[in-house]
């Protein structure tokens, strides 16, 4: 952790593009969309041009009353301007709160109230989703990026605002409020300071420098409201590497973009990589140029890693995954290559970053944690956030008496220190073992499967929910063979892919899915094609 403290002046996110432009002003950013707040500018920018846009945005925000310490929520369609609005707010000392457009209206209004009447930048679609009469009393002021309303300030009306200088902030002051995925319930608002956010950035920054020593094109498909997009952009921008940003992740679209720009580095959410498995055999060879695949979110399925590594024509491609949380940043990391069987170490998510993060596994019942009796995963890092906004007590409940952060997951460590992640605490099924490991096994055994989620059922056998390629009927014979060595389960429930509830980053909302099945059982309506 001491390496996170050395010369830590805070992430300085508000001036990232200005600092990058000072070094390499002609570095290019390519988008697969146009900016809602500057639709006439197209989809190709130099870093210097983006830095000037951020100066303009921050001036417009200042003109409506945003000041150092103000909170600025951004809730609009997934687009790079979500990120630029966050950078611009930080540039004038305000605290940005990017909110996923996948959040429903009730949850969003709840988070806005917790944030303490922030300014809100939204678009016509977002404002209508929230319902103006419900949101205006929860915020200080509303700015509409698109459209118009009598209760809001139109973005275009702020054009020509007098430019204002950047406002430096102490690294220990709040710099950003992000939110958790909400996969296990209502999202939490996570407050980071400049110093804690910088500490989150450093592990992956150093790892990236070792793996990508020369110029490569970086391609990102990351939700623009996620805090990871901020730290992801830092490395290529400050080194003058071109960046491609995708708002849309449909396989056909991604293949077209990658075939055009031939990126050497691709980072995306696990759900996107899973969807892109089919591109491994695409005639355009969209992953042929990729040297590094990166995923700083959940652990990926072994089948996905193997297929994508096999699709690269680089001599020694690498797939790097990181395990962490919004509250604490990346904690452990693991690299996969084609030389090593991705299945051989099961649910190993990697090793801690030396001198940066620490990991331990604590017994749940007095017995040493093991593969059959996992313990609580706890970590230490200077990247830990300061609190949950409006829920300080809830945040403190995750901190042990000796200062470790409980991740809410269970697993064990090998004698070599490798951390194995077996389950979320809330998803543990007594006597079943690792549901995540079982899901991996089933996906690897059946190419037909695109999704497997094993749900706990009270007083009944666990229920596997499955999705298939093109929603075709499940091959029951293959299922029986693939599941034969696993603990007993109920008959699989086959759902169309679009019915699986997902967060904005593609995580399955297991509680919501379980509720969906329970409600359909009550009404005796079929949940979809069943086998």
Domain ranges of the chain: 1-194, 248-424, 435-522
pLDDT at 530: 47
Residue with tokens 């700083």: 296
Give φ, ψ of 405 to 5 degrees: -100, 125
| Element housing 424 (H / E) | strand 419-424
DSSP symbol at 472: P
In CATH, what number does 248-424 get?
A: 3.40.50.12780
DSSP symbol at 53: H
**Cα–Cα–Cα angle for 498, 500, 503, rounded to 5 degrees:** 105
Tell me if domain 1-194 and domain 248-424 are identical in fold: yes
pLDDT at 346: 63
Residue with tokens 């921008």: 237
CATH superfamily of 435-522: ANL, C-terminal domain (3.30.300.30)
pTM for this one? 0.92
Whether the Cβ atoms of residue 507 and residue 181 lie closer than 8 Å to each other: yes
**Tens digits of per-residue pLDDT, 154-193?**
999 999 999 999 999 999 999 999 999 887 778 999 999 9
pLDDT at 315: 93
Rounded to 10 degrees, what is the CA torsion of 267, 300, 308, 29? Answer: -10
**Tens digits of per-residue pLDDT, 111-146?**
999 999 999 999 999 999 999 888 999 999 999 999
pLDDT at 521: 79
Rounded CA gap, 425 and 431, in Å? 14
- What the block records as the tokens of 14 is 């508000």
Q: Phi-psi region for residue 83, left (φ > 0), alpha (ψ -120 to 50) or beta?
A: alpha
List beta partners, residue 295.
Answer: 321
DSSP symbol at 469: G
Within 8 A by CB and 6+ apart from 314, the residues are 264, 288, 289, 290, 291
- What the block records as the tokens of 196 is 């804690």
Name the stretches of the chain with pLDDT < 70. 1-5, 7, 341-346, 524-531
Whether the Cβ atoms of residue 377 and residue 419 lie closer than 8 Å to each other: yes
CATH class, range 1-194? alpha beta
């Amino acid at each position: 952790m001491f390496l996170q403290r050395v010369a830590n002046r805070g992430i300085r996110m508000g001036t990232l593009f200005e600092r990058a432009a000072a070094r390499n002003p002609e570095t290019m950013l390519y988008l697969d969309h146009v900016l809602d707040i500057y639709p006439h500018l197209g989809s190709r920018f130099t870093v210097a041009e983006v830095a000037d846009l951020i100066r303009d945005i921050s001036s417009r925000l200042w003109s409506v009353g945003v000041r150092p310490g103000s909170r600025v929520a951004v809730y609009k369609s997934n687009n790079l301007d979500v990120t630029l609005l966050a950078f611009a707010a930080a540039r004038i000392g305000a605290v940005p709160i990017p909110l996923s457009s996948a959040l429903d209206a009730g949850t969003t209004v709840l988070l806005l109230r917790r944030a303490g009447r922030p300014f809100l930048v939204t678009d016509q679609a977002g404002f209508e989703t929230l319902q103006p009469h419900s949101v205006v009393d929860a915020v200080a002021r509303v700015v509409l990026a698109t459209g118009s309303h009598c209760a809001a300030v139109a973005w275009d009306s702020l054009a020509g605002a007098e430019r204002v200088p950047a406002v430096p902030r102490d690294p220990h002051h709040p710099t950003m409020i992000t939110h958790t995925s909400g996969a296990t319930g209502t999202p939490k608002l996570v407050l980071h300071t400049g110093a804690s956010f910088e500490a989150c950035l450093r592990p992956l920054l150093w790892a990236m420098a070792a793996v990508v020593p020369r110029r490569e094109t970086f391609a990102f498909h990351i939700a623009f409201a996620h805090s990871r997009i901020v730290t992801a952009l830092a490395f290529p921008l400050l080194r003058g590497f071109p960046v491609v940003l995708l708002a849309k992740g449909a396989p056909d679209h991604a293949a077209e973009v990658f075939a055009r720009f031939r990126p050497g580095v691709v980072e995306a959410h696990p759900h996107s990589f899973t969807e892109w498995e089919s591109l491994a055999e695409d005639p355009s060879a969209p992953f042929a140029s990729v040297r590094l695949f990166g995923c700083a979110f959940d652990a990926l399925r072994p089948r996905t890693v193997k297929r994508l590594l096999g699709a690269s024509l680089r001599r020694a491609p690498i797939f790097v995954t990181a395990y962490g949380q919004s509250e604490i940043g990346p904690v452990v990391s693991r690299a996969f290559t084609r030389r090593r069987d991705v299945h051989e170490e099961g649910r190993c998510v990697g090793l801690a970053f030396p001198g940066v993060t620490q990991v331990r596994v604590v017994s749940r019942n007095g017995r040493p944690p093991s593969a059959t009796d996992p313990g609580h995963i706890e970590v230490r890092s200077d990247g830990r956030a300061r609190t949950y906004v409006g829920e300080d007590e809830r945040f403190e409940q995750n901190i042990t008496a000796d200062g470790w952060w409980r991740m809410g997951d269970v697993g064990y460590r090998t004698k070599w220190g490798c951390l194995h992640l077996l389950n979320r605490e809330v998803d543990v099924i007594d006597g079943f073992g690792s549901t995540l490991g079982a899901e991996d096994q089933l996906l690897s055994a059946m190419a037909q499967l695109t999704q497997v989620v094993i749900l706990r059922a009270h007083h009944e056998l666990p229920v596997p929910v499955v999705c298939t390629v093109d929603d075709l009927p499940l091959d029951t014979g293959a299922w029986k063979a693939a599941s034969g060595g696993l603990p007993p389960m109920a008959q699989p429930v086959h759902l169309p892919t679009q019915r699986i509830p997902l967060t904005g980053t593609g995580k399955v909302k297991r509680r919501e899915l379980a509720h969906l099945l329970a409600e359909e059982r009550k009404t005796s309506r079929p949940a979809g094609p069943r086998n």
